[in-house]
Amino acid sequence: NAGVTQTPKFQVLKTGQSMTLQCAQDMNHEYMSWYRQDPGMGLRLIHYSVGAGITDQGEVPNGYNVSRSTTEDFPLRLLSAAPSQTSVYFCASSYSYGSRADTQYFGPGTRLTVL
C-alpha cells in the first residue's frame, strides 16, 4: 500500500492564481480531511469528508473548495490564492469517522508559497 499520497510536494503561486492540491489513499478509508500547518499554531482542519459525495467545512474553510467523487481521492482547490494561504498542507484519512479511537494517516505534505 502507498498509504496517503499528495502532489505536488512544493508549489509557488502568485496572488490570484488557482491550483488544486491532490490527495489519494489506497486503504479504502471512509474519512478524509485536509489540514494546514502554520508555525506555532499546530494543525487546523480546513475541510473533511465522511464518504464519497459528502463534504463539510472545518475550522478554516475560507478560500478553499473540496469535492469527493470517489473513495480514493480528495482534492483541495484554491480558487484565488492569497499570501495568507502560504502554509504546509496535509491530507489525512482514517478507516471510519464513527470510532473515537481511529488513527488518522497523514500524507507527506505540500509546501505552498503564495507571493
Partner 1 sequence: GNSVTQMEGPVTLSEEAFLTINCTYTATGYPSLFWYVQYPGEGLQLLLKATKADDKGSNKGFEATYRKETTSFHLEKGSVQVSDSAVYFCAFGGTSYGKLTFGQGTILTVHP
Name the site residues for partner 1 (rule: CB under 8 A): 4, 31, 33, 35, 40-45, 48, 50, 58, 90, 92, 94, 97-109
The CA distance from 38 to 35, in Å, is 10
The angle at the Cα of 75, spanning 73 to 79, to the nearest 5 degrees, equals: 165
Q: How far is the CB of 84 from partner 1 (least distance, A)?
A: 18
Question: Which residues, other chains included, contact 39 with Cβ-Cβ below 8 Å and sequence gap of 6+?
Answer: none
CB atoms within 10 A of CB 69: 10
Nearer to partner 1, 14 or 101 (CB): 101
Q: How far is the CB of 16 from partner 1 (least distance, A)?
A: 29
Q: How far is the CB of 33 from partner 1 (least distance, A)?
A: 7
